[in-house]
């Protein structure tokens, strides 16, 4: 093989190897971009309300209902949860919640903390996005709540949420106790997830929490029973939350939206 042919073959080989290396490098760069990407679950809107044994229903209507509006934005990959807490005097037997709807679409019970006052988390089915615009949350019980009791509820919507699994099951946590400090440690969640939480205490009064931004607040009423306050923030790993409440029995619970 003469020198000219050898030089030609060497040139062709060099071009081929360089092109292959370039393709490999581009593939590595693209794969890193995919890994680093992904949406962040983001707070959208809230609504809240409460009622007591005198205002939740009447004797002519043998049921307790609580209705309030939430205005959901038009962002993609939306999800929706509703916290409901019912409080009353020690030893009181309370009716269970028979249903929660938003825009006439039924939610399902996700978690329940039992007791003479209790708290629930209700959610739309995975893949069912909440209707946009202003629509009502309706909480229904089959009978009137007991005297000197308060039914409180707050709903929160988010977007950029995984539509196969809206909530991070491992992040859910609940706790209860007495005193002025209500503490909760949620399980592990991704840095792009969005935590929500609520607290219920047995006395009316201001409640503050140690993380994120307070998204909604129920001040309670002169029956003094349950207040619900919730916040939301993006977090990573476990999330420790401390509420300051009026000294009394309390319950708190929370869960994270899973990012898309």
- How confident is the model over 88-125, as pLDDT tens digits? 777 777 788 999 999 999 999 999 988 767 889 999 99
Q: Which pLDDT belongs to residue 31?
A: 19
Distance CA 184, CA 123 (A): 21
Q: Which pLDDT belongs to residue 91?
A: 75
Residue 217: CB partners within 8 Å, gap ≥ 6?
48, 207, 227, 228, 229
Query: How does residue 72 score in pLDDT terms, banded at 50, 70 and 90?
Result: very high
Does 130 map to a domain?
A: yes
Q: Which pLDDT belongs to residue 217?
A: 55
Backbone torsion region of residue 139, taken as left when φ is above 0, otherwise alpha when ψ lies between -120 and 50, otherwise beta: beta
Q: Which pLDDT belongs to residue 1?
A: 52
Backbone torsion region of residue 5, taken as left when φ is above 0, otherwise alpha when ψ lies between -120 and 50, otherwise beta: alpha
Most confident listed range (16-20, 72-76, 176-180, 182-186): 72-76
Does 34 map to a domain?
A: no
Tally of domains in the chain: 1
Range of lowest pLDDT (31-35, 36-40, 92-96): 31-35
Partners of 80 in beta bridges: 157
Q: Could you give the angle at the alpha carbon of 14 between the alpha carbons of 12 and 16, nearest 5°?
A: 70
Does 32 map to a domain?
A: no
Distance CA 23, CA 251 (A): 57
Mean pLDDT of 65-79: 95
Phi, psi for residue 159 in degrees, rounded to 5: -135, 175
Percent of the chain at pLDDT > 90 equals 32
Q: Could you give the angle at the alpha carbon of 32 between the alpha carbons of 31 and 38, nearest 5°?
A: 95
Q: Please determine, for residue 166, whether its predicted confidence score (pLDDT) is greater than 60.
A: yes
Does 201 map to a domain?
A: yes
Mean pLDDT of 161-184: 93
Q: Which pLDDT belongs to residue 149?
A: 80
Q: Which pLDDT belongs to residue 118?
A: 83
Q: Name the pTM for this structure.
A: 0.80
Distance CA 201, CA 182 (A): 9
Does 171 map to a domain?
A: yes
Query: How does residue 30 score in pLDDT terms, banded at 50, 70 and 90?
Result: very low
Mean pLDDT of 18-45: 44
CB half-sphere exposure, 234, CA atoms < 13 A: 15
Query: How does residue 23 score in pLDDT terms, banded at 50, 70 and 90?
Result: very low
Which domain, by its residues, includes 240?
A: 42-257
Does 156 map to a domain?
A: yes
Q: Which pLDDT belongs to residue 35?
A: 29
């Amino acid at each position: 093989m003469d020198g000219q042919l050898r030089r030609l073959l060497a040139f062709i080989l060099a071009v081929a190897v360089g092109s292959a290396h370039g393709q490999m490098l581009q593939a590595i760069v693209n794969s890193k971009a995919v890994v680093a990407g992904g949406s962040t679950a983001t707070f959208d809107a809230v609504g809240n309300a409460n009622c007591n044994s005198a205002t939740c229903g009447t004797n002519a209507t043998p049921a307790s209902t609580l209705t309030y509006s939430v205005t959901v934005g038009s962002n993609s990959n939306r999800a929706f949860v509703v916290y409901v807490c019912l409080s009353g005097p020690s030893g009181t037997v309370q009716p269970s919640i028979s249903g929660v709807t938003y825009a006439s679409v039924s939610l399902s019970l996700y978690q329940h903390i039992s007791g003479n006052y209790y708290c629930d988390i209700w959610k739309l089915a995975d893949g069912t996005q909440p209707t946009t615009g202003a629509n009502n949350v309706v909480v229904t019980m089959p009978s009137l709540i007991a005297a000197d009791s308060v039914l409180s509820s707050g709903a929160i919507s988010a977007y950029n949420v995984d539509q196969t699994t809206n909530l991070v099951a491992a992040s859910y946590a609940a706790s209860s106790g007495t005193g002025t400090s209500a503490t909760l440690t949620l399980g592990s969640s991704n840095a792009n997830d969005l935590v929500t939480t609520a607290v219920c205490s047995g006395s009316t009064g201001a409640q503050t929490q140690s993380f994120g931004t307070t998204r909604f607040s129920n001040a309670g009423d002169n029956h003094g029973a349950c207040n619900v306050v919730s916040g939301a923030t993006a977090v990573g790993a476990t999330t420790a939350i401390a509420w300051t409440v009026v000294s009394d029995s309390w319950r708190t619970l929370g869960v994270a939206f899973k990012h898309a």
